[in-house]
Amino acid sequence: MRIVVAATVVAGVLLVPQSASAAPGWKNLGSKAFKGAGALLQVAAVNKKTVFAINENGKPFHWNGKKWTAKKAPFKFRPTGIAASGPRSAWAVGYAGITPVAAHWNGKKWKKVGYQGAKFGPLDLPLVPLSLSAGRDGSVWSVAGLNSKNDGASAVRRWNGKSFVNVSVPGAAGASLTAVSVRNKDDVWLAGTTTANGTQAVATVLRLNGGKWKQVAAPGGQWGTVGQPHNIIQEIAVAGPKKVWAIRAQNGGGLLRWNGAKWSEAATPLISHYALTPDGGSGAWTIPSPGTGKTRSQYLHWAGKWRTLRGPDRKKNTYIHDIAQIPGSKQVVAVGSVEKDGKQLPIVEIYR
């Protein structure tokens, strides 16, 4: 059921209430709080009154259901992930130079927290965070790699209440992990690629269930050649105990769905998918590589078949970098930027 709200003016954009029969669509959700900020790269939603976003320089923003406000950044960094378990608990990870970094929102301010390095034999590698996810119970996990979602060493980190620390995961040795999704402390999913013969890459999926890590039979056969661009699991998203979505992307596209017993795959209309989120129902949303839609953002929705939807025409090159479903609803929020006078200016779009 659509919730009808009073008409509101946000940053000069009139958000007019729709009738119950009006078709939902993608709309601008701008704000004066974004003035002077760079491209928004990451977004996480707790509910309709709590959404977190962060820009290319690590500047955080907060939506309270009525307006966006800018928050003080704890330091300057390039974010690669943001996650939230509640209005008073959110995390962001990324890198400053080649150093992995993390920040935590405690309900009042963002503070820098530790993000452990990794040792591989004699090497001390500053692995860059590639993925971050939080459950509603406060469980938070991250995977890190060599600044590329394609081959190379990787590590698993867990939030221990003070910092992100390394975790040894049985079955993950030798894998190049690229994605993590957390439902709660007893349901954690990791995904990436590995090799059995040293040449061909194949998908690997691990699940923490009942206190134990188990391999989940991964879909497909060979995903490419190690050392060359090949298919990867770009993102994985747990929507329920028997509903897990994953997007296969890079040299080929595929939307994967786990029903508790096996995977099914839907061919995708694009080769490269950049981000994924459940839709709050039986389907999922994905976005292509930023800039594919040119002057209008482009979204792909799967609910038994694919639909392509577009955002408002901004007359300038438009880039969507991240997307998140708002829990408890079928609303989805996306963040990105529009190119103007050689600069990237932040934008937010919402599907409702």
Does residue 115 sit in helix, strand or coil?
strand
Q: pLDDT tens across 280-326, in order?
A: 999 999 998 887 778 999 999 999 999 999 999 999 999 999 999 99
Tell me what pLDDT residue 44 has.
98
Q: Structural domain boundaries of the chain?
A: 27-351
How far from each other are the two terminal CA atoms of the chain, in whole angstroms?
11
Q: What pLDDT is recorded for position 18?
A: 45
Q: What is the pLDDT of residues 128-184, one digit of tens each?
A: 999 999 999 999 999 999 867 777 889 999 999 999 999 999 988 888 999 999 999
- Tokens 């007893």 locate to 186
Residue 251's pLDDT band, with cuts at 50, 70 and 90, is low
Q: Mean pLDDT, the chain, as a whole number?
A: 88
What are the residues facing 52 on neighbouring strands?
44, 62
Q: Which pTM does this prediction carry? A: 0.90
Q: How is residue 239 written in tokens?
A: 């929507």
DSSP line for 244-280 = EEEEEESSS-EEEEE-SS-EEEEE-S-S-EEEEEE-S
- 2.102.10.10, 2.130.10.10, 1.10.1040.10, 2.10.10.90: which CATH number matches 27-351? 2.130.10.10
Q: Is the pLDDT of residue 37 over 50?
A: yes
Residue 202's pLDDT is 85
Region of poorest pLDDT, from 70-74, 242-246, 271-275:
271-275
